[in-house]
Every structure is written in C-alpha cells, then in structure tokens.
Amino acid sequence: MSLEWLVAWGWSLDGLRDCIAAGIQSVRDCDTTAAVSVACLLALFVWYCYHVGREQPRAYASVNALMQGPDAAGLQNGFVYCQSAECVRCSHSEGLNQKLYHNLQEYAKRYSWSGMGRIHKGIREQGRYLSSRPSIQKPEVFFLPDLPTAPYFSREAQKHDVELLERNFQTILCEFETLYKAFSNCSLPQGWKMNSTPSGEWVTFYLVNQGVCVPRNCRKCPRTYRLLGSLRTCIGNNVFGNACLSVLSPGTVITEHYGPTNIRVRCHLGLKTPSGCELVVGGEPQCWAEGRCLLFDDSFLHTAFHEGPAEDGPRAVFMVDLWHPHVAAAERQALDFIFAPGR
C-alpha cells in the first residue's frame, strides 16, 4: 500500500512540475505589448466602475441601518425642513433656470447628452412653459415638455407597483392603525406634521420627504418602508419624491393647489375611505376605495375634502410618488442628478 502511494505521489509531483513549466513558458512566449495593453484596459475599466458607482444616486438605506443609525440632520418632529435658500424644490428665483442648466451640463459631462433633448428643451424654455400653461395645469417648479397629459392615470400606467401596493394593503393599514392610536393621547404625536387648511385638520406622516428619508418615522413603519424598496418606479432620489400617510379629519377642505412638476404620478392607496370624501383633479371628481390605488397628475389644479360626519372617522391614504410612465430611463437618471436633494 505504501509503495503504491509513493508512486502515485511521484506522478502527482511530475504533473505539477509540468504544469508550472508550461505556465512559465506561456508567459515567456506572450507578447509584452499585448499584456501591457490588456493591463491598462483592465485598470481603466476598474476606475470607470468606481467613478460611476460613486456618482450613482443613493439607494434606500436598509431598515436595520435605520434602526441603529442616528437621525438625519435637519429633522424636526419627523419632518424635513428646507434649510437652504438655494433649494430648487422651494426656490422661485430668477436664477433657478440657470442653476438647472448648470446641473444638466454637469450631468452631461460626467455621463452623456444622449436622450437629454426634452430636458434640455424644458430647462432652456422653462419660464415660457410655466407662464403660458393653461390655468388647469401649472407645475410650480419644473415642466417637462411633450409628456402625455391627463388629470388621472389608469392602473395600467404603473401596473406592477399598483398591484404590489394593493397586495400589501393589510400590512400598510396595520402599521397606520398602530401609529394613529397615538392621537388618543396627544393632539399631534411625534413624527406627524400639521398642514394648513381653511377648515378641519390635515396631518401627514412622511417616510420620504422631498427625496430625503425620515429615519425616525421609517423605524415606526418598517414593513411599509421595506415595501418602497420593492417598487420599480418610486421616486426616491430627487426632491419631487415623497411617501407618506395622509389623513383628513371630517370637515376638512384642502385649498386648491398645483404640484411642483409633471414628471411624476401621485398614487393614493386607500386605507380608510368613509363616504363624503372626494379628490378633484382638473375639475374631475373621484372617490377613494379601501385597498385600491388612485393615480393622478398633481401638477393639475387639485383639491380634496372630507364632508362626512365626525362618527365616520378620518379619511386615510398611503401616498407615494411614481415616475410618469413616459419619462424615459435616461431622463429619470438625469432628473435624479439635477434635482438631487441639496444640489
């Protein structure tokens, strides 16, 4: 047995020696210029991957990271307040168009001008677009030209995300009900924001506000927050993206207003929808339904109200902003860059 093992081991060593010798000879026979060229190309590829990866819009943080991490700066009562005079979401100054054009040029230098025709056209003529729009649709910050326009969208416009939200209706409703119980002990629990209305009360609980995650609130709705990461068209990396619970008490009327842009579709998933509640967009009324999504373009003049009696309880929806289905992938990436929070 020992003799046979030694013979086999000797053959193994011979084979290994032959393999090493063949490898050394292959290196000697290799064209040095070709090897250097391949090495340079590989180095350039690694550098490019690092550069592009570093500049990509940030992804949602994991829930575990939120559970452990400190709250983000600039959060008050769970709501992000703008602290910059140059915020493109809130600014209406004369220099806004120049700033947007500068951001577009910076994006094109880093990536490409390919597919930027509509964005370039929109930024260069933004003042004319916003001033000449009919009163029924007047986005306040940015108008992307040549997009199909209508007050409401069919469920097919973002079918995957609509069906995913509706399948998780009970999950979202359960977390909402747990949160809303806090109102029995406090007029405005931590994390909720009171909005101005001519009558009644309209409160919101943001998970993502103007493209910025609200960590404290996300920790209170971990399953709903995880769901956002599964949506294919959720706007989460620019100032036009929001996700929140929105609640109207009986007797509430929201003043008619316009949203900031036409590049998004606002989606409402009905959680609590008593009778006497309506959404009116572009003069067309619609009613919410529990467990069903309602999609609309909030750059149209719109309002909402709850005229039901007090015993009916509040109207509650989960609101999330999705990309307009006719905004191309290249345009979405560019708009994320141009309208990145804090840019």
pLDDT in tens, 282-317: 999 999 999 999 999 999 999 999 999 999 999 999
In a domain? residue 67: no
Instruction: Work out the number of other CB atoms within 10 angstroms of the CB of residue 49.
Output: 10
In a domain? residue 307: yes
Q: Which of 1-10, 19-28, 212-221, 326-335 has the lowest mean pLDDT?
A: 1-10
Split at pLDDT 50, 70, 90, the class of 257 is: very high
- Domain with 267, as residue range(s), is 155-328
In a domain? residue 178: yes
In a domain? residue 46: no
133-165 burial: b if 16+ Cβ within 10 Å, else e: eeeebbbebbbbeebeeebbbeeebbeebbeeb
In a domain? residue 218: yes
Q: Does 5 or 24 have the greater pLDDT score?
A: 24
Structure tokens at 317: 């929806």
How many structural domains does the chain have?
1
8 A C-beta contact, residue 294 and residue 278: no
Interior CA angle at 234 toward 197 and 129, to 5°? 65
Kindly state the average pLDDT of the residues 54-59.
45
Mean pLDDT of the chain: 83
Q: Which of 35-39, 54-58, 160-164, 253-257 has the lowest mean pLDDT?
A: 54-58
What CATH number does residue 161 fall under? 2.60.120.330
What is the spatial distance between Cα 170 and Cα 312, in angstroms, rounded to a whole number? Answer: 20
In a domain? residue 117: no
Split at pLDDT 50, 70, 90, the class of 23 is: low
pLDDT attached to residue 79: 35
- Give CA separation, 107 vs 53, 76, 84, 228, 330, in Å: 14, 32, 22, 26, 11
What is the spatial distance between Cα 39 and Cα 299, in angstroms, rounded to a whole number? Answer: 52
Q: Does 234 or 62 have the greater pLDDT score?
A: 234
In a domain? residue 336: no
Q: Which of 69-78, 195-204, 216-225, 282-291 has the lowest mean pLDDT?
A: 69-78
Q: What is the DSSP string of 127-164?
A: HHHHHHS-TTB--SSB--TT----SEE-GGGGHHHHHH
- Give CA separation, 291 vs 161, 167, 245, in Å: 13, 8, 14
Q: What percentage of the chain reaches a pLDDT higher than 70?
A: 75
pLDDT at 115 over 80: yes
pLDDT attached to residue 90: 54
Which of 6-15, 121-130, 181-190 holds the top average pLDDT?
181-190
pLDDT at 59 over 90: no
Split at pLDDT 50, 70, 90, the class of 62 is: very low
What is the spatial distance between Cα 71 and Cα 217, in angstroms, rounded to a whole number? Answer: 10
pLDDT at 52 over 80: no
